[in-house]
Chains A and B, each alone.
Chain A
Amino acid sequence: MTAAEPKIQIQGVTKTFATGRAPALAEVDLDVAERELVCILGPSGCGKSTLLNIVAGFLAPTTGTVRVDGRVVTGPAPERGVVFQEYALFPWLTVTGNVEFGPRLQARPADERRRTVDRYLDLVGLRAHADKFPAQLSGGMKQRVAIARALANNPAVILMDEPFGALDAQTREVLQDELSKIQRVEHKTILFVTHSIREAVYLADRVVVMTSVPGRIRQIFPIKLPEIRDRFAPEFTQYEADITRMVKEEVAKVHE
């Protein structure tokens, strides 16, 4: 595949859950370039998580296709790593066990696995907790393990479904900083769902604003800010304001 091909191609995707019910997603078309971090932003129930689940392969679209690296998505696969809001760590495995889960499935030799685990635990700063169980970790630490786990499997793209939604405001910002730092090192293609405008502006190369039910793309905001962003810079707050105005219009529609 040539470098100009988008990494993720979402074409004409719609989703209706049960015949006779209103569609959750209507006609979504979106391309994500390699190494891009795209945030999908929208009010509750606009279908953004459904879209992510379809890209991940957990749900099948009613119409349309999703292509990753030119190949059609038919189900979950290690090329599309996922980070969930509920962490989804395996409680019976240690941090190490969780992070090496993917490499283990691929029957990688033990010393290679150890190096992989060490590398990614260092990246998320949790090397000292390698032998702990998820039950012994805080929410922020759990999510960092989840991110390490997804990265350790060397996926082509990473899909994140409101990954910091369950964390308190402080931890949330710390993890945003961490993700930004990781992205500068790893340069992954990331599709990130959130309902926090601030978070989207901080992390994204482009922010995709979605409408309420049925979900469709309203507008895409390219974010022209430096790699390391200042949350209080005037340009930052300008983007926030613009997007907030648009999202408010959409929220008002939900409550009509």
Chain B
Amino acid sequence: MASLVSNVSTLVESGLRGPALTRRRALALQLGAVAAFLALWSVLAGLVVLLKLFNPIFLPGPWLVVGALVELAAKGQLGVHLVATLERVAIGFGTGAALGVTLGLAAGQLAPVRGLVEPVVELLRPIPPLAMLPLFIVWVGIGEPSKIGFITYATFFPIFLTTVTGVRQIDPVLLRAARSLGARGLPLFTRVILPAALPDILTGLRLGVALAFFVIVISEFIGAEHGLGFLINDGRNFFLVPQMLGAAVVLGLLGYAGNALVRLLERRLMRWQHPA
């Protein structure tokens, strides 16, 4: 292996990426990196205890985090909180997506709808959705509806905007071709416009899922009794740091799964983009 920092020969031969690795080598390096990360974490946590650097509560080792999760799972609590979070995300995202896609399609196609909706969207778009959370709470109270409503609000925008773009930026050549083949009205919409806009819509859905998980946490910090976000914030009161970290990791896994699901949907619906 050459020196640690690439020299001129390496740079001109294979650029800054370095030489391509075989799959086995790449996989080994990836696993090695994760293992090294966990090892480093464990060593640091151990050092804190040994050298009495600070209260070990602040940096629990990975085994403590796993332990906390296992304990919660055994008591059945992990499931309860996980389901609570998932429910809110699913319903909120589902509603936001439904609204975003339908309104987006309508606004993309029909100028009057666009004229009505666009001013409101332009006004609200620059405002980070998080800023609206207190307003939802004031309007609807602390319970489930405000959380779900908030998720709906947050996910609506990216989905609506990408759908409108998807419809409006269809290659006009495609439309002309379709029209000259006799397509009009509803069939033109369902057979040409919708499929052509699909990639953008699906991108919007992926952004929406990510955003949903992004914002659910904060809404579960405030006035919740269940949920992964609640677990994290509640842990603060008793310095249950392993619980806080564990719940965060689970949240990450959920977000990853959600993203993977949308990507799966993408592959299914847009098989023409991935032949073979």
The 0/1 profile, CB within 8 Å of A marked 1, for residues 1-17 of chain B is 00000001100110000
Residue of A nearest to B7 (CB): A75
CA distance A216 to B8 in the complex (A): 28
A78 within 8 A of B: no
**Interfacial chain A residues near B12, Cβ < 8 Å:** 57-58, 75-76
A60 within 8 A of B: yes
> Does B13 lie within 8 Å of A59, measured CB to CB?
yes
**Interfacial chain B residues near A60, Cβ < 8 Å:** 9, 13
Q: Report the minimum CB–CB distance from A159 to chain B (whole Å).
A: 13
CA distance A100 to B14 in the complex (A): 26
**Interfacial chain B residues near A75, Cβ < 8 Å:** 8-9, 12
Q: How many residues of A contact B (CB 8 A)?
A: 6
The 0/1 profile, CB within 8 Å of B marked 1, for residues 52-67 of chain A is 0000011110000000
**Which applies to chain B's interface (DSSP): helix, strand, loop or mixed?**
helix
Q: How many residues of B contact A (CB 8 A)?
A: 4
> Does B8 lie within 8 Å of A76, measured CB to CB?
yes
Q: Report the minimum CB–CB distance from B219 to chain A (whole Å).
A: 45
CA distance A31 to B227 in the complex (A): 76
**Would you list which residues of chain B between 1 and 59 have a CB under 8 Å from chain A?**
8-9, 12-13
**Interfacial chain A residues near B13, Cβ < 8 Å:** 58-60
**Would you list which residues of chain B between 242 and 267 have a CB under 8 Å from chain A?**
none
Q: Report the minimum CB–CB distance from B8 to chain A (whole Å).
A: 6
CA distance A81 to B214 in the complex (A): 53
**Interfacial chain B residues near A59, Cβ < 8 Å:** 13
CA distance A75 to B9 in the complex (A): 6
CA distance A58 to B9 in the complex (A): 7
Residue of A nearest to B9 (CB): A75
CA distance A58 to B11 in the complex (A): 9
Q: Report the minimum CB–CB distance from A205 to chain B (whole Å).
A: 29
Residue of A nearest to B8 (CB): A75
Q: Report the minimum CB–CB distance from B170 to chain A (whole Å).
A: 29
**Interfacial chain A residues near B8, Cβ < 8 Å:** 75-76
Residue of B nearest to A58 (CB): B12
**Would you list which residues of chain A between 66 and 101 have a CB under 8 Å from chain B?**
75-76
Residue of B nearest to A59 (CB): B13
CA distance A46 to B9 in the complex (A): 24
CA distance A100 to B79 in the complex (A): 67
11 residue pairs A–B, Cβ–Cβ below 8 Å: A57-B12, A58-B12, A58-B13, A59-B13, A60-B9, A60-B13, A75-B8, A75-B9, A75-B12, A76-B8, A76-B12
Residues of B within 8 A of A (CB): 8-9, 12-13
Enumerate the 7 nearest inter-chain pairs by beta-carbon distance, A residue then B residue, closest first. Answer: A58-B12, A75-B9, A76-B12, A75-B8, A59-B13, A58-B13, A76-B8
Residues of A within 8 A of B (CB): 57-60, 75-76
Contacts beyond the supplied A58-B12, A75-B8, A76-B12: 8 A-B pairs with Cβ under 8 Å: A57-B12, A58-B13, A59-B13, A60-B9, A60-B13, A75-B9, A75-B12, A76-B8
